[in-house]
Amino acid sequence: MTDNNNLPVFSVLPKHVGFIMDGNGRWAKNKGLPRSEGHKAGAKTFRKIGEYAADLGIEVVTFYAFSTENWKRPEAEVNAIMELFGDYLNEVIDRIRENEEKGIRLKFIGDRKGISPELLNLMDYTEMLTKNKSRITLNIAINYGGRHEIASAVKVIAEKTEKGEISPEDIDENMISEYLYTKGQPDPDLIIRPSGEFRTSNFLTWQGAYSELWFSDVLWPDFTEENFNEALRAYENRNRRFGGV
């Protein structure tokens, strides 16, 4: 945990921040390293930024770790990412007492089909171990796609409507939100994408309708607390009208 006396002060702080963790492969390539080394470096940044967000008092941070489209990557790279994910979960379990003071709740969002039973067991166990933590919620989006999430929610609502459990007249935006992975959480106020790309890539498609966007040329493994502060300062100065004047 960071010494709170050294933390910057913001007049406005987002409740929920989304991160599109991009640039791991390019970071590794620039250094002449295998892409897997870029993902390892990116995982360290994930830990650092997640803990820093907790120190700042942000309620929810969602990290885009693995998309539904990422399965198209080379098998060796996919396997390396999943192995790294498993190592992280085992580390959380092994250091659970040490992590008590951090107060971090872990939640995994995305389609669990296609993920190995071993990883699913680790995900379930980690969620159970941290479910009562309330300092910050870290959503890890794995096998996640925004359009897929919306389609899945609509399918469940359609099935319940067919059974007569839901009336078509009752279907509204609030109901759809209740069937998304982020049920009960505030929508992201700010979405940050490093690496020089200017798109949201199917990330929190429904929830991010009114999110402020902040882009940076910094590759994710090089993303620092200072870069995060820069994004938060930009957010602090945005005028969020939500369609009003």
pTM over 0.75: yes
State percent of the chain over pLDDT 90: 89
At residue 100 the predicted structure's pLDDT band, cuts being 50, 70 and 90, is: confident
Q: Is 70 a catalytic residue?
A: yes
How many domains in the chain? 1
- Domain of residue 52: give its range: 13-145+188-236
Catalytic hit among 3, 4, 5, 22: 22
At residue 242 the predicted structure's pLDDT band, cuts being 50, 70 and 90, is: low
- State how far the Cα of 195 lies from the Cα of 202, in Å rounded to an integer: 16
CA within 13 Å, CB half, 51: 15
Tell me the pLDDT tens digit for each residue of 200-222: 999 999 999 999 999 999 999 99
Q: According to the model, what pLDDT value does residue 101 have? A: 78
User: DSSP 3-state assignment of 61?
Assistant: strand
Catalytic hit among 4, 6, 70, 227: 70
pLDDT of 245 over the 60 cut: no
Any domain includes 108:
yes
- State how far the Cα of 176 lies from the Cα of 180, in Å rounded to an integer: 7
Name the residue among 51, 29, 53, 49 with its Cα closest to residue 39: 29
Any domain includes 159:
no
User: DSSP 3-state assignment of 167?
Assistant: coil
Average pLDDT of the segment spanning 118-135: 94
pLDDT of 2 over the 60 cut: no
CATH code of 33's domain = 3.40.1180.10
Q: Is 170 a catalytic residue?
A: no
- State how far the Cα of 45 lies from the Cα of 49, in Å rounded to an integer: 6
Any domain includes 19:
yes
